[in-house]
Amino acid sequence: MTKRRGLHPDKALSALKVRQVTKAGRYSDGQGLYLVVSDTGAKRWMLRIMVHGRRRDMGLGGANLVTLADARQLAVKYRTIARNGGNPLEERRKERATTPTFAEAARQVHSETAPTWKNPKHAQQWINTLETYAVPHIGNLQLDHIKSGDVLRVLSPIWLEKPETARRVRQRLKTVFDWAKASGFRTTDNPVDGIERGLPKQTAKVEHHAAMPFADVPAFVQGLQRADKDGLITRRAFELLILTATRTSEVLKADWSEFDLEEGLWVIPAERMKMEREHRIPLPQRALEIVEEVSALGLQGSYVFPGTKPKRPMSNMAFAMMLRRLEVPFTAHGFRSSFRDWVAETTDYPNELAEMALAHSVGNKVEAAYRRGDMLDRRRAMMEKWASYLNND
């Protein structure tokens, strides 16, 4: 059948599609109605119409509050107004009693987007930063009255003193004003756009964790193995951290349910990972021996390395205190860098394999392609080689 040309899709979306779609982008329902999905997963409706000969984009609300059927009904209403020579944007502004203040808008955006966050703590942090740094300056101002100078008053006090916080506040301000424009509460450009031109240049301050040279790590690990029985649990936990190139919290809060000794796997769930993505760790033989040794001790509770209090994990200062007692001027986290340097300087394993072992985010499209799988078998061979290096095998 020959495809007919010149026809635009009509009612292309379904309620199920609206619920299930998660990939950021714009999805056409037809007749100028779009579902817009942001990078955070938030969903909103947008209507593209001609108003007095000019193309205008008109927000129709969040998809969690406005159903597909309601969005279509609103689209028909506003298209009709536009065809009859009216201005649907002005019409909607008249329908709304007052323009909300920034504080009201920030809380509304938070309530609409909070369900899309996987981590409730991060969702709460989103609104907390605005309540702390923005609301005292512009909280009582109506959205359509806020200008770039007002945004500068928010960012200037923290731009150099707290650069990372300032960048987060800037991005969250931009999100609120984008919502305001899409909702018809602003007709001017986003006051955050180009704001850096009015701020001093930030100088990147990078603090690296002190890392032991990889050539010295085998002797350190073998020292952990030779030590007497005092502090056995801490030493075994520390050795497992080095063998698996994991983070301190990932080891200290390790749960027995995460280990499959028959498969030689440690699977850390997404909620315990920094990047909020499940991490499968192939356990080399020495790591399996450690887990089995600790299991044989019959310690109570679900934590592999329990602390002094029942049903509590080991203190997050345990490794730091051990290093201090041994007068070792490095950090536990730094052993991840030791592993990374060993891979780069002594092996032929590719960069993406080491990054995957460290559960790092991937910074370019080539490496991102490897995320379709986790290259478990190749990583298993690499971790066994690392374990052999640590034991001088």
State pLDDT tens for residues 127-177.
988 998 999 899 888 888 899 999 999 999 888 888 888 888 999 999 999
User: Can you read off the two tokens belonging to residue 116?
Assistant: 């899309």
Q: List the beta bridge partners of residue 28.
A: 34
Place of tokens 């323009």: 99
Q: Is residue 390 predicted with pLDDT exceeding 60?
A: yes
Q: What is the pLDDT of residue 308?
A: 82
Residue among 127, 201, 213, 121 nearest 169 (CA): 127
> What's the CA gap between 134 and 163, in Å, rounded?
15
Q: Is residue 207 predicted with pLDDT exceeding 80?
A: no
Q: List the beta bridge partners of residue 303.
A: 255
Q: What is the pLDDT of residue 92?
A: 72
Model confidence at 6, in pLDDT bands (50, 70, 90)? very low
> What's the CA gap between 170 and 108, in Å, rounded?
18
Between residues 275 and 110, the one the model is more confident about? 110
C-alpha distance from residue 57 to each of 12, 24, 33, 112, 390 (Å):
19, 18, 10, 20, 61
Domains of the chain plus CATH, in order, are 15-95 (3.30.160.390), 102-198 (1.10.150.130), 214-390 (1.10.443.10)
C-alpha distance from residue 284 to each of 27, 91, 276 (Å):
46, 67, 24
Residue among 58, 36, 38 nearest 48 (CA): 58
Tens digits of residue pLDDT in 292-311: 999 998 888 899 999 887 68
Q: Cβ distance 89 to 56 under 8 Å?
A: yes
For residue 25, which phi and psi values (nearest 5 degrees)?
160, -170
Quote the pTM value.
0.49
> What's the CA gap between 11 and 7, in Å, rounded?
13
Torsion of CA 178, 193, 155, 206, to 10 degrees: 110
Q: Is residue 366 predicted with pLDDT exceeding 50?
A: no
C-alpha distance from residue 321 to each of 49, 214, 235, 316 (Å):
65, 21, 12, 10
C-alpha distance from residue 56 to each of 145, 182, 233, 278, 323 (Å):
21, 10, 65, 42, 62
The CA radius of gyration of the chain, in Å to the nearest whole number, is 27
Q: Cβ distance 279 to 273 under 8 Å?
A: yes
Mean pLDDT, residues 252-262: 94
Measured CA angle at 255 (ends 337, 249), to 5 deg: 35
